Amino acid sequence: MAANVIPERIAEALRRFPPFSMLPEADVRALAAEATVRVMVAGERVWKQGDAPGNELLFLARGRVEYVWQVEERSELVDVRDVGDVLGLTALLKAEPMRVTAQVVEDSVLFGLPWLPLKALLEVHDAARNYARRHLFWATRVGGVVALPEPTEDTIAGRAKNILQAHLDGAQTIQPRPGVNILTCTPEDSIHSAASLMAARRLPSILVIDSERRPIGIVTNGTLVQEVVVGSVSKDDPVKRIMVSPVVTVSAGSSATAALLVMLRRRIGQVCVTADGTTNSPVLDICSEKDLLAQSGHHPAGLLREFRNARSPARFRELCDDVEKIARSYLEAGVSAIFLGQMCAELYDEMVQRLLVLTAEELAEAGTPLPKVSWAWMSVGSDGRREQILRTDMDNALVFASSGVTDQDEQTRKALLGLASRVVAKLVDAGFARCQGGVMASNPRWCRTTSEWIEEMESLNAHTDGDELLRALVLYDMRFVAGDAVVADIVRKSVIDSFARNNELQHRLAELIVDTAPPLNFFGRWVVEKLGGRQEGFDIKQRGMAPLRDAARLLTIHHGLTQRHSTGGRWDELRRNVPRLHELAPLARDSYDVLLRLRTLNGLRRGDSGRYIDPASLTKLERAQVANIFDVVRMVQDSVKLEFSLAHRA
Partner 1 sequence: MSWFSHPKLPAPVQAYVDATPKRIGGKRPVEDLHFLVIDAETTGFNVQTDKILSIAAIHTEHGQILLGRSKSWLVFQDHVAVNEAVRVHGILPSDTKNGQPESQVMEELLPELHGTILVGHHVGFDAALLDVALYRRFGIHLRNPILDTASLAMQAIDAFARTGYANQRPPSLDEVCAHCGIAMMDRHTAAGDAYTTAELFLLLCARLRQRKKRAIVAGDLPLTSV
Phi, psi of 74 (to 5 degrees): -130, 160
Minimum Å gap between C-beta 44 and partner 1 is 7
Report, in Å, the least distance between residue 32 CB and partner 1. 7
Q: Check residue 2 for interaction with partner 1 (CB under 8 A).
A: yes
Q: Is the Cβ of residue 112 or residue 217 nearer to partner 1 in the bound state?
A: 112
| Binding of residue 33 to partner 1 (CB under 8 A) | yes
The interface mask with partner 1, positions 46-85, x = CB under 8 A, is: ----------------x-----------------------
Q: Compute how many residues bind partner 1; rule: CB under 8 A.
A: 24
The residue among 1 and 650 lying less far from partner 1, judged by its C-beta, is 1
Q: Does 585 bind partner 1 (CB under 8 A)?
A: no
What residues contact 265, with CB distance under 8 A and at least 6 apart?
Answer: none
Per CB under 8 A, the segment of 33-41, 145-153, 224-232, 358-366 that binds partner 1 is 33-41
Interface region with partner 1, contact rule CB under 8 A, candidates 6-14, 265-273, 418-426, 614-622: 6-14
Q: How far is the CB of 619 from partner 1 (least distance, A)?
A: 21
Task: Quote the least distance from Cβ 104 to partner 1, whole Å.
Answer: 9
Tell me if 41 contacts partner 1 by CB under 8 A: yes
Euclidean distance between the first and final Cα of the chain, in Å?
A: 58
The reply to whether 361 sits near partner 1 by the rule CB under 8 A is no
The only residue of 39, 164, 264, 364 in contact with partner 1, by rule CB under 8 A: 39
Q: Is the separation of the CB atoms in 387 and 432 below 8 Å? A: no
Residue 472 CB, shortest distance to partner 1, in Å, is: 56
Q: Does 16 bind partner 1 (CB under 8 A)?
A: no
Distances from the Cα of 644 to the Cα of 461, 505, 513, 547, angstroms? 17, 11, 11, 15
| Number of helices (H), then strands (E), in the chain | 24, 21
What is the number of other CB atoms lying within 10 angstroms of the CB of residue 121?
20
CB 176 within 8 A of CB 253: no
Residue 55 CB, shortest distance to partner 1, in Å, is 13
Residues 180-239 contacting partner 1, CB under 8 A: none
Binding segment for partner 1 among 39-47, 144-152, 355-363, 465-473 (CB under 8 A)? 39-47
d(CA 557, CA 554): 5
Q: What is the 3-state secondary structure (H, E, C) of 196-214?
A: HHHHHHCCCEEEEECCCCC
For partner 1, which stretch binds (CB under 8 A), given 36-44, 288-296, 396-404, 521-529? 36-44
Contacts for 623 with CB less than 8 Å, ≥ 6 apart = 521, 522, 615
Q: How far is the CB of 42 from partner 1 (least distance, A)?
A: 8
Which CB, 62 or 125, lies closer to partner 1?
62
Contacting partner 1 (CB under 8 A), which of 16, 24, 36, 164? Answer: 36
Question: Read out DSSP for 440-481?
Answer: STTSGGGEEEHHHHHHHHHT--TT--HHHHHHHHHHHT-EEE
Q: 546-558 and 620-643 helices cross at what angle (nearest 10)?
A: 30
| Smallest distance, partner 1 to C-beta of residue 14, A | 12
Report d(CA 297, CA 287) in Å as an integer: 15
Please choose, out of 30-38, 123-131, 258-266, 486-494, the segment that lies near partner 1 by the rule CB under 8 A.
30-38
- Which one, 17 or 307, has the nearer CB to partner 1? 17
For 296-405, where are the alpha helices, taking DSSP H only? Answer: 300-309, 313-332, 337-365, 381-384
**Residues constituting the chain:** 650
Instruction: Kindly indicate which of the ranges 41-49, 394-402, 480-488, 507-515 contains the residues binding partner 1, using the contact rule CB under 8 A.
Output: 41-49
* Residue type for position 101: T
Contacts of residue 135, defined as CB under 8 A and 6 or more positions apart, other chains included, come to 86, 89, 90, 624, 628
Residue 1 to residues 33, 35, 260, 319, Cα–Cα distance (Å): 15, 19, 61, 66
Orientation of helix 25-33 relative to helix 5-15, angle to 10°: 120
**DSSP structure string for 384-416:** HTT---SSS---EEEEE---S-HHHHHHHHHHH
Q: Is 26 in the site for partner 1 (CB under 8 A)?
A: no
CB of 614 vs partner 1, minimal distance in Å: 25
In order of 93, 413, 541, the CA distances from 443 in angstroms are 57, 10, 25
332 near partner 1, judged by CB under 8 A: no
116 in contact with partner 1 (CB under 8 A): no
Our CB check for partner 1 shows the closer of 41 and 225 to be: 41
Q: Give the footprint of partner 1 on this chain (CB under 8 A).
A: 1-2, 4-7, 9-10, 32-41, 43-44, 62, 107, 109, 112
